[in-house]
């Protein structure tokens, strides 16, 4: 085996994966498949024993069957979440119709689910995405420990970590390069016109930079796809706020921006995701970031269309005021666009918007 391949295999073995299924044959098949892919798997056929094992051993990832005896997979997660919020869990279902309700998946922080089949290709994609997220969690945990050890370097390390992780996300998609910078600066601009405090403006700044951090856990095959997404692929894209929340939840320095990361795709009328919050139940700073995010999407060139004209964008914001956007925030931003557009242009020039 070549040195590079040995290093990759060694890196994969750094992650402890536990599979829980009351069918021993499934465990054996998973073990063989994942070993061939470079991973080491620990199997458990008794869900109650699996809970106890997670209490006493460290695992990074759990592959969990849903329909089991004596308890189902959602009950297993319910117990684990009482003492472990960090374990990344992928739920396996025999059939999509047998999957638990979406609200249960959200409440228990189940990061993904996959239908069982003779082929494990889709599962492998989810595992590789999970490992990426876990890698980021480890980086952030390490940063957090370093920050605790040296308050003198807190601000420097904080800002450096933001830059590193932000560039990691944007490196995946050339069409969104500079997107997080602009969303951050548009959000701060709106916040200033709303008279928000310096603390809120700083949170908007960092939250805007990090709002799409969860996309690090979305497979490149989906994120970079130029044709239309399938319903399943779009569902995976919609997981990125929850993945982002999961990544950042381990670092105390990022707690203030988690509401932005988790809720920036909510809509004022309650038809957004992931929690379908409505009105002022959506955190204020997330409502601001949502408008800034959408504005940048409309005014940026994409592979499938050119940037929209300013007049079109203004009309779209007016149309969506009260449905997608908070009408008060939309009114403030429309004032900026119609009377102070030079401030928008400064941001676009600074971030080199094409």
At 178, is the secondary structure helix, strand, or coil?
Answer: coil
Return the CATH architecture of domain 3-130: 3-Layer(aba) Sandwich (3.40)
Which sequence spans correspond to the domains of the chain?
A: 3-130, 153-350
Q: Cβ contacts of residue 313 below 8 Å, gap of 6+?
A: 295, 298, 299, 337
- Mean pLDDT for all residues in the chain: 86
53-77 per-position pLDDT tens digit: 999 999 999 999 988 999 999 999 9
260-281 per-position pLDDT tens digit: 999 999 999 999 999 999 999 9
**Nearest by Cα to 20 from 52, 53, 55, 44:** 44
Phi, psi of 44 (to 5 degrees): -145, 125
Q: Exposure string (b/e) for 123-136, b if CB count within 10 Å is 16 or more?
A: bbbbbebbbbbbbb
Task: Please tell me which residue, 148 or 26, carries the higher pLDDT value.
Answer: 26
161-177 per-position pLDDT tens digit: 767 776 776 676 655 66
At 24, is the secondary structure helix, strand, or coil?
Answer: helix
**What CA dihedral angle connects 221, 224, 226 and 228, to 10 degrees?**
60
Alpha carbon distance 2, 236 (integer Å): 34
Residue 279 has a pLDDT of 96
Q: What residues are labeled active site?
A: 215
For residue 29, pLDDT beyond 80: yes
Distances (CA, A) of 112 to 82, 176, 178, 303, 336: 19, 25, 29, 28, 40
Alpha carbon distance 111, 126 (integer Å): 10
31-34 LR contacts (CB < 8 Å, sep 24+): 33/120, 33/124, 34/120, 34/127
DSSP character string of 275-337:
S---GGGS-HHHHHHHHHHHHHHHHS-BTTBPPPPHHHHHHHHHHHBTTTB-HHHHHHHHHHH
Alpha carbon distance 153, 118 (integer Å): 52
Task: Please tell me which residue, 173 or 283, carries the higher pLDDT value.
Answer: 283
Radius of gyration of the chain (CA): 22
Q: How confident is the model at residue 303 (pLDDT cuts 50, 70, 90)?
A: low
| Domain at 153-350: CATH code | 1.10.3210.10
Residue 4 has a pLDDT of 46
Mean predicted confidence (pLDDT) in 3-14? 56
Q: Residues 207, 285: contact at Cβ < 8 Å?
A: yes
How many residues appear in the chain?
A: 354
For residue 322, pLDDT beyond 90: yes
Question: Which strands make up the sheet holding 17-20, listed edge to edge?
Answer: 41-44, 17-20, 61-65, 88-93, 112-115
Q: How many CB atoms lie within 10 A of CB 138?
A: 14
Q: How confident is the model at residue 340 (pLDDT cuts 50, 70, 90)?
A: very high
């Amino acid at each position: 085996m070549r040195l590079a391949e040995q290093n990759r295999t060694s890196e994969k073995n750094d992650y402890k994966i536990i599979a829980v299924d009351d069918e021993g044959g499934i465990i054996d098949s998973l073990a063989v498949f994942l070993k061939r892919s470079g991973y080491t798997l620990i199997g458990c056929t008794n869900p109650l024993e699996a809970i106890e094992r997670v209490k006493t051993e460290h695992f990074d990832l759990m592959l969990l069957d849903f329909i089991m005896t004596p308890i189902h997979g959602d009950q297993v997660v319910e117990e684990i979440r009482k003492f472990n919020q960090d374990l990344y869990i992928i739920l396996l279902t025999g059939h999509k119709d047998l999957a638990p309700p979406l609200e249960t998946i959200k409440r228990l922080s189940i990061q993904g689910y996959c239908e069982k089949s003779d082929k494990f290709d889709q599962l492998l994609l989810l595992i590789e995405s999970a490992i990426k997220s876990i890698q980021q969690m480890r980086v952030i945990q390490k940063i957090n420990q370093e920050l605790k050890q040296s308050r003198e370097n807190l601000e420097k390390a904080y800002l450096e970590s933001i830059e590193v992780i932000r560039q990691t996300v944007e490196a995946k998609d050339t069409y969104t390069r500079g997107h997080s910078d602009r969303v951050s600066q548009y959000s701060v601009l709106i916040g200033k016109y709303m008279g928000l405090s310096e603390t809120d403006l700083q949170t908007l700044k960092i939250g805007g930079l990090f709002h799409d951090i969860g996309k690090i856990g979305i497979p490149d095959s989906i994120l970079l796809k130029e044709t239309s997404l399938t319903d399943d692929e779009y569902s995976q894209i919609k997981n990125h706020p929850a993945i982002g929340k999961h990544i950042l939840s381990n670092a105390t320095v990022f707690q203030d921006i988690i509401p932005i990361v988790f809720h920036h795709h909510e809509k004022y009328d309650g038809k957004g995701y992931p929690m379908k919050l409505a009105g002022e139940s959506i955190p204020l700073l997330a409502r601001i970031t949502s408008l800034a995010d959408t504005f940048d999407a409309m005014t940026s060139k994409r592979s499938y269309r050119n940037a929209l004209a300013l007049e079109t964008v203004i009309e779209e914001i007016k149309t969506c005021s009260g449905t997608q956007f908070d009408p008060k925030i939309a009114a403030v931003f429309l004032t900026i666009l119609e009377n102070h557009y030079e401030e928008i242009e400064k941001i676009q020039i600074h971030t080199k918007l094409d």
